[in-house]
Amino acid sequence: MKALISVSDKTGIVEFAKELSSLGIEIISTGGTYKALKEAGISAMEISDLTGFPECLDGRVKTLHPKVHAGILAMRSKEEHMKQLKDLGVDTIDFVVVNLYPFKQTILKENVTRAECVENIDIGGPTMLRSAAKNYQDVTVVTDPADYEIVLNELKSNGKVSLDTKFYLMNKVFEHTANYDAMIFNYLKSERKDESFPNALTLTYEKVQEMRYGENPHQKAALYKEIGKCEGSLTIAKQLNGKELSFNNINDTNGALELLKEFDEPTVVACKHGNPCGVGSGKDIYEAWSKAFSADKTSIFGGIVTVNREVTLKMAEEMKDIFLEVIVAPSFEKEALKVLETKKNLRLLELPSITVKQAPESYDIKKINGGIIVQTIDSKLLDDYKVVTDRKPTDKELEDMLFGLKVVKFAKSNGIVLAKDKQTIGIGPGQVNRIWAVNQCVEHSKELIGDGVTKGAVLASDAFFPFDDCVKAAHEAGITAIVQPGGSLRDQDSIDKCNEYGMTMIFTGMRHFRH
């Protein structure tokens, strides 16, 4: 029996080849792999000795030869195939051990050139893998070093590799080559700065972890990450404390992180079930924390907190007395970390690149039965705004309107946010009509903070008002300013009602539905 070994990732290959050789399997190898095996004292034949043709074109051509592929693809059960091999003087190859040029590592290098990336597109490797996988009944194909032990155990126990294992290894080949080709396609698309949606969408992600369960205990779940640096992403955060993140932790924390990135000044976002429950900005991070916490001391229980400055000892001493699931920050003061680590289940995540935003052309993907719907992320807040009422907003009102707009962009639709002094004082997410969302905000602000808190506040809406009832409810609560996209056939009704009450309203022309 013969084994052809040609690997870029040489993890465990010397040990594996040594075991194969000890079982009487003849080794054929190429380039750097051949050199590594010879240096380890393993007997091996160089590929050019098998083919009778030298490697050429800087190694671009070495395994693309009939003696290689006929030896792999011949069906041993077909007499005609075996006769042809004999007539051609070709021996069968029974094991193909190949992994590919490091394309991923190449594209992730700083200042890498297109030429270097293209040169690291493997040709011979995928061809051998696909040939061996197609003939899986007769050929054992291994592309993952983690499978070396499985193959050796079966060879030692049974003298052969089982058909089930060969079929499993075949499956892994096409997982590997599909991932490899998808990486190449996505790199080339990026190089061309092509933002169009391709006719065939092929995405590839790498598994980070499997989870105990999904949204509910009866659902299976796993976390995958994009291939890239993923700056600002939860997938590269360093966990400093606490239990493994759950499916819901990850989903909720991601939403809180993306909202946090809307702010440059010291800001804290508290989130629950995918919706913000308290957001505050301040002159320093402690003031921001105090605002976010006091905005909704009830809903933060069991919630997520994201922070865009270092967590201080003073914050930590207050946070430890609250049941929180996750805290994410760029860093933690040493003493603050000690305090929070006393809560053994509290997940503490350090993410230095927490403020880095996704590229505007990034995909937002939702699964539907039988397909997916894909869009670019909602990367904008507004292009401009227009004051549509007689009264113009004060500087303070305008500041709070912008604050509220950032928050409502991340509340489930229909969404309404009340804001005052760079603090959320009421959040109404996910209602089936807009007036219910307004009423919910007002009621919650009274319940959670106190009567009169809405006086002088602003209201932000993710979409237009279909009627003037929202303006009426806002006026009754003492709200003085409204920001919304506009675009309703009844916009003028809302404008007239604002003018009647002496309120100010601006239109942004940009809707922020979030479903």
Residues designated as active site = 134, 273
Task: Strand 238-241: give its sheet, edge to edge.
Answer: 238-241, 347-350, 324-329, 303-307, 267-272, 275-281
Strands 26-29 and 2-7: parallel
SS (H, E, C) 350-394: ECCCCCCCCCCCCEEEEEECCEEEEEECCCCCCCCCEECCCCCCC
For residue 454, what are its two tokens? 């809405």
Query: Could you count the other beta carbons within 10 Å of the beta carbon of residue 369?
Result: 4
Pairwise CA distance, residues 274 & 303, whole Å: 10
DSSP state of 120: T
- Helices 31-39, 13-22: axis angle to 10 degrees equals 70
Identify which of 385, 387, 401, 389 has the alpha carbon closest to the alpha carbon of residue 499: 389
CA 62, 63, 68, 70 torsion: positive or negative? Answer: negative
Pairwise CA distance, residues 364 & 343, whole Å: 35
DSSP state of 89: T
Identify which of 226, 223, 227 has the alpha carbon closest to the alpha carbon of residue 207: 223
**Under 8 Å CB-to-CB from 418, ≥6 apart: which residues?**
404, 424, 425, 426, 427, 441, 442, 445, 454, 457, 458, 459, 460, 477, 479
Torsion of CA 94, 131, 146, 24, to 10 degrees: 10
- Helices 124-134, 66-73: axis angle to 10 degrees equals 30
For residue 162, what are its two tokens? 């089982």
Q: Verify cis geometry, omega within 30 degrees of 0, for the bond prior to 414.
A: yes
Whole-angstrom distance between the N-terminal and C-terminal Cα of the chain?
Answer: 59
CA distances from 40 to 43, 292, 437 (A): 9, 62, 71
